[in-house]
């Protein structure tokens, strides 16, 4: 299996389909007040170790084909509408793909409590779907307690630092393996279900 090959689909669509620290918040979201520390970007070519780093160091919730040996990692901000669109695109693939959704925080006031609630959800598919429907409808997403345990706050901060270490400054950011070739694939932004299936080799 090839662990160092990289298939990158970039970004004529990037500016239009991803959320960054400086992007205007979604309707109903609080202003961007992120204080996540900046770190030196990791070399983009080192995608094999980036995949392993996410596997070892991130904290997310897992949905989909839980027995799959090739998880697909998605870093997302709970206040990012483009992340909501990627979530919706991923739903038809849950019988084929194991996704690990990793919350980060560009907007601590809402993103941290919502990320914490999603991490703790008993039914993450149902909870995330309802949250993203609310966000995309302009109502701000799920209500979540601001009383977040310190360990969960730290986990989300660590996830945000992982995004920085990957040299990525916007979400959603996907890192996975092509089902047929084993090549590592990345994508920064939202996409439709058919394009996502093609990227992951699960058509």
In a domain, 24, yes or no: no
Instruction: Judge contact between 153 and 112, C-beta under 8 A.
Output: yes
In a domain, 187, yes or no: yes
In a domain, 27, yes or no: no
In a domain, 141, yes or no: yes
pTM, two decimal places:
0.82
Tokens at residue 40, please? 């030196």
Asked if residue 200 has pLDDT above 70, the reply is yes
Q: How far apart are CA 201 and CA 96, in angstroms?
A: 10
Quick: pLDDT tens for 109-157.
999 999 999 999 999 999 999 999 999 999 999 999 999 999 999 999 9
The mean pLDDT value for 97-105 works out to 98
Mean pLDDT of the chain: 83
Q: What CATH number is attached to the domain comprising 89? A: 3.40.30.10
What pLDDT shows up at residue 137? Answer: 96
In a domain, 118, yes or no: yes
Per the structure, the count of domains in the chain is: 1
Q: Based on C-alpha coordinates, what's the Rg of the chain?
A: 16
What pLDDT shows up at residue 20? Answer: 78
Q: How confident is the model at residue 31 (pLDDT cuts 50, 70, 90)?
A: very low
């Amino acid at each position: 299996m090839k662990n160092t090959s990289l298939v990158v689909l970039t970004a004529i669509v990037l500016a239009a389909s991803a959320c960054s620290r400086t992007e205007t918040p979604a309707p109903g979201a609080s202003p961007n007040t992120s204080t996540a520390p900046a770190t030196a970007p990791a070399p983009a070519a080192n995608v094999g170790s980036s995949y392993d780093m996410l596997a070892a160091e991130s904290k997310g919730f897992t949905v989909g084909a839980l027995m799959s040996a090739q998880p697909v990692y998605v870093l997302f901000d709970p206040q990012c509408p483009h992340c909501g669109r990627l979530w919706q695109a991923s739903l038809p693939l849950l019988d084929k793909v194991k996704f690990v959704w990793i919350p980060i925080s560009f907007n601590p006031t809402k993103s941290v409590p919502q990320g914490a609630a999603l991490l703790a959800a008993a039914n993450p598919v149902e909870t995330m779907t309802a949250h993203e429907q609310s966000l995309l409808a302009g109502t701000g997403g799920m209500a979540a307690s601001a009383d977040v345990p310190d360990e969960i706050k730290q986990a989300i901060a660590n996830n945000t630092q992982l995004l920085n270490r990957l040299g990525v400054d916007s979400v959603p950011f996907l890192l996975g393996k092509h089902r047929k070739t084993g090549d590592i694939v990345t994508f920064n932004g939202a996409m439709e279900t058919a394009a996502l299936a093609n990227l992951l080799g699960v058509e």
